[in-house]
Amino acid sequence: MKKIKSTLLIILATLACVCIAAGCGVRGPEAGAPTATADVVIEEPTEAATERTTTMEPEITDTLPATEQPTPAPTATPTPAPTATTTPAPTATPTPAPTEQLTPAPTAVPTATPAPTSVPTANPTATPAPTQRPTATPAPTDGPVNGVYTTKNGIKYTVAGELGAEGSTFTLKKDLVLTFESGSLAGSNNRFELKYSSGKPLTVDLKYIRSGKEVTDQFFLEAGTDMTFGGLVSSYLQNGRAAELKSLTVSTVKGVSTTFTLGEISASLVPVYNSQLYYIENSRFKVGVQLSWGGGLNYIEDKNTPVSGLTNLVNRHDTGRLIQQSYYGTRGNKDYTPGSFNGSNWSYNPVQGGDQYGNVSRLIDVRVTDNSVYINAQPQDWSLNGQITPSYMENTYTLTGEYVRVDNRFVDFSGWEHPYSHQELPAFYTVSYLDNFTWYNGSNGWTGAPLTSRADLNFWGDARYAEDCRFYVKEGNQETWCSWTSSKDDFGIGLYVPNVDMLYAGKFSYNGSKSAMDSATNYVAPLMTLKMTSFVPIEYSYLITTGSVAEIRATFTANKDFADNASLHKNYQSMRVAALDYTNLDFSGQAALKALGNALNAEVSYNASRKAMRLKVANAYDPQVPLKYSESPEPLYAENYRTLEICYMIPEANQKDSYACDLFLCTGSKTAPDGSERTRVSLVKDGEWHTAAVDLASLSFWSGRINLIRFDFFDACADGDIMYVKSIALK
């Protein structure tokens, strides 16, 4: 989520929670069969759930997730966005995009060079597949003649470093070098294309000649049969060109042996498009893509706008705004040490636009048709200074007369284990002028039932307002669109992402500005709890349209079945693993019950209909359940966590009017509670889901290794009272 500059640090220091993690978050359960205990049972659905909520809270809650943190206004004379090789000073704020009057026309295409690779025609009714999927195993090319191999398109090459070969299929582990015959891939070019097959994910170092010198660019290849990959030279946006492709050095990402077949390789010269505001447009929409910021959407205009002076509806104040992809992963491992942001430890956080220092993401590929743009980008890691991530983000933007369709694809090549996190699908920022947030808050979607609107939303990153910015999708509701419109003109922009669990929305520094460069902004992110799984794609699609609230709803209703994003839920289930992440105990699955010790005066069960832990008071005297943090696979230390978040619901049928819970904290040398180190938090009883944020950082005794937290879930209660808990997360 949006980035905040140093002038907001004092405010952020007071935050007790922030909800996103795709925008953010690291804690996630990894499910497996629960360990049965005498006081833990599995409860079949006996109560009709009224809401479906996300299964956990975001990675970092005392600061904002990387793509949801607004920043103060830029200095009086903003500098142009840096190129992919520029590293701004660490203390500088993210460099704002240039003004919107830049010429969108591409540079002239040289005529004496090979024709650009053809671009598949976009199909607005089906999700494009930018990376060609496997079809059938290609027949290997003929074996070597005097040690020289030949690709199917006639390029000759020699090989060194293979562990074995069968025909033109090589066994490799690292440094398989394919050297092309001199002159076979000569001629001015800026894009290459491979057709290949590989049993494992690969890194490829492409060596070529530029300005008389050898240059090497690295790329990632997915595993698969009959695959196609296209990439641009690293200096593409600066009109850089290769004079000749010399060699490929191929290695497996994880250092294990595999097979590799090079079917074809070709090079071409493609247009160099405007890197700041490359436009595609039709009779209704004008859409801008910022190639220098990883291809994020930075401009959407409805040419029929009824509002004078309102052109671009997207806030593009810095690399963290835009409409873009952002994901959250590990908080650190033996190979990766994350940075910090606004005084807090951060997670691995690929952000399409760039990092907090203004370093921009790398453009891997771009392809253009009459009504679409395809982007492949390698994002920066938000908290680190100029650290490109081992991941790719693909976007296909397609225009129709009714909407803009966006198809997203993300693949992480790190090989690391990541926890579950709230992911922004996508991060979506608008100009401040669009002050009215509207969504459908019922259970009977697509029937024209009344909508809910809020013009009084505050900054989502402020702990005082964060819970008020969360809008959970009711059980069974499929009408998951939302809009930001002007309360003065009833005109604005809408976003429809099928099959999500929550909408998270708010305003930062509202001033009603129509400027896309203003620091003030409005934000929304449809959320789902997912984790990156290395080498496994995350894919989803969404629609954007404009108009009045009624017109936006009508467009989405007419096109509600354009995509269902069911793969998100399939991935959610398939990515679950046996080990628990104790930083985010996710009780939407049964596995997290293994983190509990023996309950006292309470019955603990799993409620399948609500997908939550059910705590029932058996004896009204001090009901409690211990959380055994000492059993975490990795030791957890209090200094790394400032807040505890409890996602809970208290039924209205409970017998008391108000409730509070006590938390007994056992850290350092303390392994059992004695009453001297505890804190209390008030709870809300209204039958709705809430997130209670407990400030831990202000407690003098919160230090050392976390051993146990005793959760006395009701301070004063009656026999039979119930609490449902979705998650308990350390932030």
Q: How does pLDDT run across 425-442, given as a tens digit for each residue?
A: 999 999 999 999 999 999
Residue 604 lies in a domain: yes
pLDDT at 465: 87
Tokens read off for 15: 């935050």
CA distance 717 to 715: 7
Q: Is the pLDDT of residue 666 over 60?
A: yes
Of 558-567, 577-586, 645-654, least confident by mean pLDDT is 577-586
523 and 656 inside one domain: no
Over range 534-558, report the average pLDDT.
97
Residue 552 lies in a domain: yes
422 and 538 inside one domain: yes
Q: Is the pLDDT of residue 75 over 70?
A: no
pLDDT at 571: 62
- The enclosing domain of 419 has a CATH number of 2.70.98.10
Tokens read off for 689: 């889901």
Average pLDDT over the chain reads 82
Contact between residue 81 and residue 95 where contact means Cβ atoms under 8 Å apart = yes
232 and 287 inside one domain: no
Of 71-75, 403-407, 525-529, least confident by mean pLDDT is 71-75
Residue 155 lies in a domain: yes
Residue 59 lies in a domain: no
- The enclosing domain of 609 has a CATH number of 2.60.120.430
458 and 605 inside one domain: no
**pLDDT tens profile 491-510:** 999 999 999 989 999 999 99
**Count of structural domains within the chain:** 3
Residue matched to tokens 């269902």: 564
Q: What percent of the chain has pLDDT over 70?
A: 79
Of 22-31, 246-255, 496-505, least confident by mean pLDDT is 22-31
pLDDT at 365: 98
**pLDDT tens profile 680-691:** 999 999 999 999
Q: Is the pLDDT of residue 100 over 50?
A: no
307 and 236 inside one domain: no
CA distance 611 to 177: 52
Q: Is the pLDDT of residue 26 over 90?
A: no
Angle (nearest 5°) at CA 442 between 440 and 445? 70
Contact between residue 611 and residue 705 where contact means Cβ atoms under 8 Å apart = no
Of 24-33, 521-530, 643-652, least confident by mean pLDDT is 24-33
587 and 673 inside one domain: yes
Give a three-class secondary structure readout of 14-36: CCCCCCCCCCECCCCCCCCCCCC
CA distance 706 to 711: 14
Ramachandran assignment for 178, one of left (phi > 0), alpha (psi -120 to 50 degrees), beta (any other): beta
pLDDT at 143: 61
Of residues 10 and 224, the one with the higher pLDDT is 224
CA distance 344 to 463: 15
**pLDDT tens profile 150-181:** 999 999 999 999 999 999 999 999 899 999 99
Q: Could you tell me the pLDDT band of residue 146, with boundaries at 50, 70 and 90?
A: confident
Q: Could you tell me the pLDDT band of residue 277, with boundaries at 50, 70 and 90?
A: confident
333 and 414 inside one domain: yes
**pLDDT tens profile 261-270:** 999 999 999 9
555 and 615 inside one domain: no
Q: Is the pLDDT of residue 250 over 90?
A: yes
Strands 242-252 and 404-412: unpaired
584 and 560 inside one domain: no
Range of the structural domain that residue 36 is part of: 28-51+579-730
262 and 325 inside one domain: no
- The enclosing domain of 164 has a CATH number of 2.60.120.260
Residue 16 lies in a domain: no
Residue 673 lies in a domain: yes
Q: Phi, psi at residue 362, to the nearest 5°? A: -95, 130
pLDDT at 91: 34
Residue 87 lies in a domain: no
Q: Is the pLDDT of residue 129 over 60?
A: no
Q: Is the pLDDT of residue 716 over 50?
A: yes
Final residue of a domain: which of 564, 597, 623?
564
Final residue of a domain: which of 238, 268, 298?
268
Q: Is the pLDDT of residue 418 over 60?
A: yes
Of 115-129, 228-242, 378-392, 620-634, least confident by mean pLDDT is 115-129
Contact between residue 165 and residue 193 where contact means Cβ atoms under 8 Å apart = no
DSSP state of 534: T
Torsion of CA 615, 617, 623, 627, to 10 degrees: -10
Of 411, 624, 597, 489, give the one whose Cα is nearest residue 37: 597
313 and 385 inside one domain: yes
Final residue of a domain: which of 223, 239, 268?
268
Residue 75 lies in a domain: no
CA distance 133 to 225: 8
Of 291, 299, 360, 295, give the one whose Cα is nearest residue 324: 295
452 and 425 inside one domain: yes
Of 188, 198, 294, 211, give the one whose Cα is nearest residue 248: 198
